[in-house]
């Protein structure tokens, strides 16, 4: 008897199975990539459009900022001195120049501004001759291109604050390309007490006056009395003393009228 030889089957089903598995995985990965791409695209499109709110800048407007910090010794007097400088610059330029200065030294809200320039005062600790010393950094930045127009650094002591004030105003005039008019120079001369410590006490008293409470007004009056003794030619100190006295009288009258009165039955 002859045995019938059977042919070995071709492995086509196995190849088709591998091909179908490859196609399924390929479609799965393609779908996964498409899903990730759609999620990323929707995330990018959901972001609000970034608008440059500082495009329309006024080159004649200046913001003055005092960066908060408590890293230096005698921070209270230095803080008053910086606020006093900011107030002096603001009053001088707004009165005698075409610049519009916005004093934000006591303004803690950070919001977009259309000012073309920013003057920043900051007290920083820096190593100087193997010792840590506190410096007052004053910078003027052009907000149009971010360039630095002025960068000054002063080591503040009790007897050089007047010279620092004079140098700062002179440097600011050069940075802004704004010569100070004669009337402004005359006004600045009246901020030249014979002793530098008198300027320190004057700015401290001015800051206390801004507080407005009875205790602060009493301290301001005492400081200004010392200033008037130290520099009797300091006209603004006499005017400030009169203002403090008037505010103290009003404050005491208000407290007396608003205090409860108890009558015995």
Query: Who wins on pLDDT, 55 or 135?
Result: 135
185: confidence class by pLDDT, cuts 50, 70, 90: very high
The reply to whether 223 falls in a domain is: yes
The reply to whether 85 falls in a domain is: yes
pLDDT in tens, 12-65: 566 666 666 666 566 656 666 666 666 566 555 544 444 444 458 999 999 999
Predicted local distance difference test score (pLDDT) of residue 265: 43
Q: At a CB cut-off of 8 Å and minimum separation 6, what does 68 contact?
A: 108
- Residues 205 and 168 grouped into a single domain: no
Predicted local distance difference test score (pLDDT) of residue 55: 57
- Residues 66 and 146 grouped into a single domain: yes
**Taking 70 as the threshold, does the pLDDT of residue 142 lie above it?**
yes
Predicted local distance difference test score (pLDDT) of residue 44: 56
Domain stops at, among 129, 150, 181: 181
Mean pLDDT of 112-140: 83
262: confidence class by pLDDT, cuts 50, 70, 90: very low
Provide Rg for the chain, Cα atoms: 35
Query: Who wins on pLDDT, 41 or 162?
Result: 162
Mean pLDDT of 61-75: 79
Q: Which range, 133-137, 174-178, 206-210, is most confident?
A: 174-178
- Residues 161 and 241 grouped into a single domain: no
195: confidence class by pLDDT, cuts 50, 70, 90: confident
- Residues 78 and 175 grouped into a single domain: yes
To the nearest 10 degrees (0 to 180), the angle between helices 75-96 and 182-189 is: 150
Domain coverage including residue 229: 192-256
Residue 193 phi, psi (nearest 5): -65, 160
Average pLDDT, the chain: 81
The β-bridge partners of 135 are 124, 155
- Residues 62 and 159 grouped into a single domain: yes
- Residues 150 and 217 grouped into a single domain: no
- Residues 199 and 150 grouped into a single domain: no
Query: Who wins on pLDDT, 252 or 191?
Result: 191
Mean pLDDT of 152-178: 93
- Residues 60 and 174 grouped into a single domain: yes
- Residues 143 and 222 grouped into a single domain: no
The reply to whether 261 falls in a domain is: no
Number of domains comprising the chain:
2
**Closest residue by Cα to residue 228 from 201, 210, 247, 203:** 201
- Residues 100 and 154 grouped into a single domain: yes
The reply to whether 244 falls in a domain is: yes
- Residues 173 and 85 grouped into a single domain: yes
Predicted local distance difference test score (pLDDT) of residue 54: 45
Domain stops at, among 137, 162, 181: 181
């Amino acid at each position: 008897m002859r045995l019938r030889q059977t042919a070995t089957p071709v492995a086509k089903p196995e190849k088709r199975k591998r091909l179908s598995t490859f196609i399924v995985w390929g479609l799965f990965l393609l779908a996964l990539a498409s899903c990730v791409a759609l999620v990323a695209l929707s995330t990018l499109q959901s972001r609000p459009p970034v608008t440059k709110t500082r495009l329309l800048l006024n080159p004649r407007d200046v913001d003055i900022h005092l960066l908060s910090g408590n890293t230096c010794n005698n921070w209270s007097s230095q803080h008053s001195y910086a606020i006093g400088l900011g107030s002096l610059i603001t009053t001088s330029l707004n009165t005698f120049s075409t610049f519009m200065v916005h004093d934000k030294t006591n303004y803690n809200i950070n919001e977009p501004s259309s000012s073309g320039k920013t003057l920043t005062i900051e007290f920083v600790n820096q190593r100087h001759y193997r010792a840590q010393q506190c410096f007052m950094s004053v910078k003027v930045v052009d907000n149009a291109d971010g360039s630095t127009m002025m960068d000054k650094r002063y080591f503040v002591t009790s007897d050089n604050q007047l010279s620092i004030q004079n140098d700062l105003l002179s440097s600011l005039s050069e940075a802004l390309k704004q010569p100070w008019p004669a009337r402004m120079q005359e006004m600045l001369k009246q901020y030249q007490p014979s002793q530098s410590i008198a300027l320190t006490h004057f700015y401290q008293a001015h800051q206390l006056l801004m507080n407005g409470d009875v205790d602060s007004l009493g301290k301001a009056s005492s400081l200004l009395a010392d200033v008037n003794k130290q520099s009797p030619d300091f006209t603004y100190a006499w005017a400030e003393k009169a203002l403090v006295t008037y505010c103290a009288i009003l404050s005491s009258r208000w407290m007396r009228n608003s205090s409860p009165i108890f009558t015995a039955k």
